[in-house]
A and B are shown apart, each in its own frame.
Chain A
């Protein structure tokens, strides 16, 4: 297995006592898969991704990538954060190059690599713009280009398209599919958008909330990967199954609060 999560538990100590955010998470992801983890807000999705990124350590259990246990952050895992994290004083080109610069890649090579990925995300003509001059969707595309420029083993994405309008989102979806098919990169993406998950991934982990657990694992087999598939009945079946799963959990969570 390429990316493996074994018996992962995560607790936070809060004023009200110990908060169990993730409970007994087991996941196994093969190289070249496009995985989506779907869950309601507050189900611990970001927390799970932070454990894989190595930005936070699990209370018990472990995460391994390519057989090696994760003990800290590193460029073998490209990360696209939930909130915009471009460096405001660097222009788009410099932002995209920054990871390569940190890893000691000479100037001409990193310039070329960054330009290539800026072209891939369609932002070549904004290479000299500052982040504050970009729209939300453009910022997120720069963040993707920046993560891809280091050619990571796995791309981790935390609700990257949550703030985008439906049309930008659709074009980003097509872009992700193209990228995935062309580069065969492993992608682990978090979302609360059910259609997004069904459309993009080959496998979905549906998460239950409070504490976050893997409720169900769904293999997605769509006849094709283009927007017309969304009218297909197979697509609707997957979507409805997921919706029902999440709805059940939503009610549980509400009941737990009440």
Chain B
């Protein structure tokens, strides 16, 4: 197998064309690596703290009409006022209830449908075109129809959330199922499992983290839709609070509404992230 060395062009010559590169150590610009904990905390605090500080500075030292931008203190005051009259609590509960019911119904339907679509190409072929189409119809565009069909009570609002969540969630759950390695399913068959067992004991646990993540993302959509539906027609709710405050130019109350909506949404998000961490240790360690 010995080869006689042929006269070749000097292999060194390519070196002249290679541009030298070094990767310098960094803390802030680390790619896909952890940064030191204190830096992480500092940046997180800055993320919320800096805009708050700016807001306070502008309203204190600037010359902006408080009708357009109330100061943080004014907003806190409005919050106290709305809280003491229990109006804020009533609105929050009303919105939470609508989101809760609509989102729960949509999840209960979309998770099994999504898993079936992802697992069985036949069901995917049957449903994917329809769902793909429905997904591109913005849910708020259904409001006039829903009012026409269901009036202005709770039903149209819950149905709106259902429409807005169901199709997206089904398709997102379907995608997570597609990523289950075929090897694992074949291993299940070789160990004596049938299709049903592969579905319930291998595919389901494998996609559980993906499902939780899909639900987390779509809960944000549900939370937006409830506010939209309340802006249009409602007797109570956080969206209704904002639209009434707008009519009377009570900017401080608009701010209260917006902040409450944001904080509740963020809490949901953190709750789902926590759920993911405790229920799927095997998946969260990878990320």
Please indicate the chain A residues that have their CB under 8 angstroms from the CB of B205 in the complex. 87, 89
Contact check: which of B188, B192, B193, B206 meets A89 at CB < 8 Å? B206
Question: Across the interface, do A78 and B184 meet the contact criterion of CB distance under 8 Å?
Answer: no
Q: List 19 A-B contacts (CB under 8 A).
A: A55-B189, A73-B189, A73-B190, A75-B191, A77-B190, A79-B190, A85-B181, A87-B187, A87-B202, A87-B205, A89-B280, A89-B283, A98-B188, A102-B197, A102-B201, A132-B282, A132-B285, A150-B191, A150-B192
Q: Which residue of B lies closest to A105 (CB)?
A: B192
Instruction: Enumerate chain B residues within 8 angstroms of A146, measured Cβ to Cβ.
Output: 191
Distance between Cα atoms of A77 and B187 in the complex (Å): 11
In-complex Cβ contact of B192 among A53, A55, A85, A103 (8 A): A103
Contact of A87 among B184, B281, B285 (CB under 8 A): B184
A88 and chain B: residue at smallest CB distance: B282
Known A-B contacts A102-B201, A132-B286; the reply to A75 vs B280 at CB < 8 A is no
Decide yes or no whether A175 CB sits under 8 A from chain B.
no
Chain B proximity mask over A72-98: 1 for CB below 8 Å, otherwise 0? 111101110101010111000000001
Complex Cα distance, B191 from A105, in Å, reads 13
Q: Enumerate chain B residues within 8 angstroms of A85, measured Cβ to Cβ.
A: 181, 183-184, 186-187
Closest to B193 in A: A102
For A133, give the chain B residue with the smallest CB separation.
B285
Question: Which of B187, B191, B282: most chain A Cβ within 10 A?
Answer: B191
For B201, B281, B282, B286, which residue has the most chain A Cβ atoms within 10 angstroms? B282
A130 at interface (Cβ–Cβ under 8 A)? yes
Binary CB contact string for chain A from 17 to 47 against chain B (1 if under 8 A, 0 otherwise): 0000000000000000000000000000000
CB distance from B285 to the nearest CB of A (A): 7
C-alpha gap A141/B193 in the complex (Å) = 21
Closest to A56 in B: B186
Which chain A positions have C-beta within 8 A of B281?
130
A interface, CB within 8 angstroms of B: 53, 55, 72-75, 77-79, 81, 83, 85, 87-89, 98-99, 102-103, 130, 132, 146-147, 150
How far is it, in angstroms, between the C-alpha of A166 and the C-alpha of B286 when the chains are bound?
A: 29
Give the top 10 A-B pairs by smallest Cβ distance, nearest first.
A99-B191, A75-B192, A73-B189, A79-B190, A85-B187, A102-B193, A103-B192, A102-B192, A89-B282, A85-B183
> For B191, what are the chain A residues with a Cβ–Cβ distance below 8 Å?
75, 98-99, 102-103, 146, 150
Given that A87-B202, A89-B282 are known contacts, is A79 also in contact with B192, CB under 8 Å in the complex?
no
Question: Which residues of chain B are near A88, meaning CB under 8 Å?
Answer: 206, 282-283
CB pair B197–A81 under 8 Å, yes or no, is: no
Complex-state Cα separation, A240 to B273, whole angstroms: 59
* A83-B190 contact, Cβ under 8 Å, with A89-B206, A89-B280: no
Chain A residue nearest to B285 in the complex (CB) = A132
Tell me which residues across on chain A come within 8 A of B187, comparing CB atoms: 79, 81, 85, 87
Q: Give A102 to B202 CA distance when docked, in angstroms.
A: 11
Chain B residues closer than 8 Å to A74, beta-carbon distance: 189-190, 192
Q: Are B190 and A53 in contact (CB under 8 A)?
A: yes
Is there an interface contact between A55 and B186, defined as CB atoms closer than 8 Å?
yes
A83 to B193, CA, bound (A): 20
Set of chain A residues within 8 Å of B189, measured between Cβ atoms: 55, 72-74
Within 8 A of A (CB), among B162-190: 181, 183-184, 186-190
A72 to B193, CA, bound (A): 12
A88 to B181, CA, bound (A): 11
Residues of A within 8 A of B192 (CB): 74-75, 99, 102-103, 150
Task: Give Cα distance in the complex from A89 to B280, angstroms.
Answer: 7
Give the Cβ gap from B286 to chain A, nearest Cβ, in Å. Answer: 7
* Residue numbers in A under 8 Å from B285 (CB-CB): 132
Could you say which residues of chain B place their CB within 8 Å of the CB of A81?
Answer: 183, 186-187
Q: In the complex, A150 Cα to B193 Cα: how many Å?
A: 12
Residue in chain B with minimal CB distance to A103:
B192
What chain B residues lie within 8 Å of A77 (beta carbons)? Answer: 190
B114–chain A nearest beta-carbon distance, Å: 19
Task: Quote the shortest CB–CB distance from B183 to chain A (angstroms).
Answer: 5
Return the chain A residue nearest B184 by Cβ: A85
Q: How far is B178's CA from A140's CA once the two chains are assembled, in angstroms?
A: 25
By beta carbon, the residue of chain A nearest B286 is A132
- The residue in chain A whose Cβ has the minimal distance to the Cβ of B280 is A89
**What residues on A are CB-neighbors of B183 within 8 Å?**
81, 83, 85
Contacts of A78 in B (CB 8 A): 190
**Cα-based distance from A150 to B190 in the complex (angstroms):** 10
Q: What's the minimum C-beta distance from A54 to chain B, rounded to whole angstroms? A: 8
From residue B176, how far is it (CB to closest CB) to chain A in Å? 14
Name the A residues within 8 Å of B202 (CB-CB).
87
In the bound complex, CA of A147 to CA of B186 (Å): 13
Which B residues, 189 to 220, have Cβ-Cβ distances below 8 Å to chain A? 189-193, 197, 201-202, 205-206
**Chain B residue at minimal CB-CB distance from A55:** B186
Q: Name the CB-closest residue of A to B194.
A: A102
Q: Which of B184, B188, B206 contacts A102 (CB 8 A)?
A: B188
Additional A-B contact list (10), CB under 8 Å, known A87-B205, A132-B282: A53-B186, A55-B190, A73-B189, A74-B189, A85-B181, A89-B280, A102-B191, A102-B193, A103-B192, A130-B282
